[in-house]
Amino acid sequence: MAPPSALLPARPRPRSRSARTLTAPASLEALAALDDTTAMLSVVRGLPARLLRQLAGRLDLSIEQLAGPLQLTPRTLLRRLQEGTLAQPESERLLAITRLFFQTACVLDGETKAAHWLQSPLPVLAGKTPLDCMTTWLGIQQVQATLWRIEDGVIA
C-alpha cells in the first residue's frame, strides 16, 4: 500500500523564481512592459510612489496635476509620496495612465508629442483633454479608443 503522502495531490510550485521574488518596477518603461499577471501582482502590492514623479516629469506636469487622474486629493498624494508606496487603487490608475502614455508616444512618434496630446482639449472628447478624461475607467477606455482610431487613420 502507498504511503498516505503519495495519495495527496502534489503541492503546487511557483512557476518561476521571479514569481516568488517580485520586485517593484524601477522605471515607467519597466512598469509599462510588465505582463498582465506581473502587473496585477505589483498593483496589489502597491507601486513605488517615485514612479509618480517620473510620470509627472515625462508629462511636464506638477505632481499635484496628477492628483485628479489618480483620484487623490493633493494632500493624500503628498502623503503617498512620503510613505513611498501607492495603495492599490492609485497603483492601478498609475499603471493605466503609464501604459496609455507609452501607447500615445508610439502612435504619435514621441513622448513630447504624447505629453502635448494628453494635455490638449479634443473635440472627440467633448472638448476635454485626454488626461482630464482619465479620472474614470470609462474615460480611460474612451482615450484608448481614440488612440486606436488615430492609429487606424480614422481621426487625423
Residue-wise pLDDT for 110-139, tens only, equals: 999 999 999 999 999 999 999 999 999 999
What pLDDT shows up at residue 22?
A: 74
Answer yes or no: is pLDDT of 147 > 60: yes
Q: pLDDT band for 23, please (50, 70, 90 cuts).
A: confident
Could you give the CA distance from residue 66 to residue 86 in angstroms, rounded to a whole number?
A: 13
Q: Tell me the three cell numbers of residue 20.
A: 516568488
pLDDT, tens only, 57-108: 999 999 999 999 999 999 999 999 999 999 999 999 999 999 999 999 999 9
Q: 118, 109 in Cβ contact below 8 A?
A: no
pLDDT reported for residue 3: 52
End-to-end CA distance of the chain: 74
Distance from C-alpha of 148 to C-alpha of 136, rounded to nearest angstrom = 19
Give Cα 75 distance to the centre of its chain.
21
Q: Which amino acid does the sequence have at 22? A: L
Q: What is the pTM assigned to this prediction?
A: 0.82
105 versus 153: which is more confidently predicted? 105
What does the pLDDT look like over 42-61, one tens digit per residue?
A: 999 999 999 999 999 999 99
- Residue 2, CA distances (Å) to 5, 10, 89 in order: 8, 15, 49
For cell 523564481, what's the residue?
17
Helix (H) or strand (E) holding 4: helix 4-7
- Quick one: pLDDT band at residue 37, thresholds 50, 70, 90? very high
Distance CA 131, CA 20 (A): 35
pLDDT at 71: 92
81 membership: H or E segment, kind and range: helix 74-83
Angle of helix 111-118 versus helix 88-108 axis, rounded to 10: 120
- pLDDT-derived band at 24, boundaries 50, 70, 90: confident
